[in-house]
Amino acid sequence: MPVSTEIAPKVLDVRPILQNGGEPFQEIMQAVRDLAPGQGLKLVAPFRPQPLFRVMEGRGFDHEACEIASGHWEVLFTPQKEIARVETSADADTPEAWPDPSLHLDLCDLDPPEPMIRILAATEKIEEGDVLFALLSREPVFLFPELAKRGHQWAGNFDDAGTAYRILVRVGRAKE
């Protein structure tokens, strides 16, 4: 008899947290961080958690929602099978052809705006056309327009676990 190699999803019932007046978002994100590679998360909630669908999609998860009883919902979040999408700046020309990064920064332990400050400072120290790689604890949405203002290109996405954002920045020349 063949043995299944699928990992059972982690189950998180947030109904008690909500009944006690708590906010379960941090516990949900911790559960996601604790998942094994390829493991899903089964969430049980007293309502359909629609806003969470987009958050989890951004972390590489698909979802299936099912009403189970009395307005309560069970949502199965499963890792997406395809390769994580890479977002790029509007002017990024084939990031896969960029040179290997000449500088690597692990900024996961820093609170905003420190990662943005360090990335912008690093771009001032390397040559035009060079690439830097940075690892961040969240998507750097405020960094993107600053890079564009300075003429830099970028490409980035979340890692497979959806817990770290990876960004490549190709140093350019400020637009005049």
Looking at 79, 109, 127, the residue that finishes a domain is 79
pTM (2 d.p.): 0.54
CATH code assigned at 38: 3.30.110.40
Please report, for the chain, how many H helices and E strands are present, in that order: 5, 9
- Give the residue from 51, 79, 107 where a domain finishes: 79
- What is the pLDDT at residue 68? 92
The answer on 105 and 150 residing in a single domain is yes
Structural domain for 163, as ranges: 87-170
CB 95 within 8 A of CB 168: yes
Question: pLDDT tens digits, residue range 99-121?
Answer: 999 999 999 999 999 999 999 99
DSSP conformation letters of 40-79: -EEEEESS--HHHHHHHHHTTEEEEEEEEETTEEEEEEEE
What pLDDT, on a 0 to 100 scale, did the predictor assign at position 88? 85
Specify whether 71 is located in the same domain as 20. yes
- Residue 3 in any domain: the answer is no
Same domain, 74 and 120: no
CA-based angle 62:64:70, to the nearest 5?
145
Residue 18 lies in a domain: yes
Which tokens is 115 given?
């990662």
- Report CA torsion sign: 125, 165, 86, 55: negative
Number of domains comprising the chain: 2
Specify if 175 maps to a domain.
Answer: no
pLDDT digits (tens, 9 = 90+) for 119-169: 999 999 999 999 999 999 999 999 999 999 999 999 999 887 778 999 999
Co-location of 44 and 100 in the same domain: no
**Do 154 and 91 share a structural domain?**
yes
Here the tokens at position 136 are: 């961040």
* pLDDT recorded at residue 162: 79
120 and 97 part of one domain: yes
Final residue before a domain boundary, out of 79, 95, 118: 79
* Strand positions, DSSP E, the chain: 10-13, 41-45, 61-69, 72-79, 87-88, 103-106, 131-136, 153-158, 165-170
Amino acid at 109: D
* Residue 150 forms part of a structural domain: yes
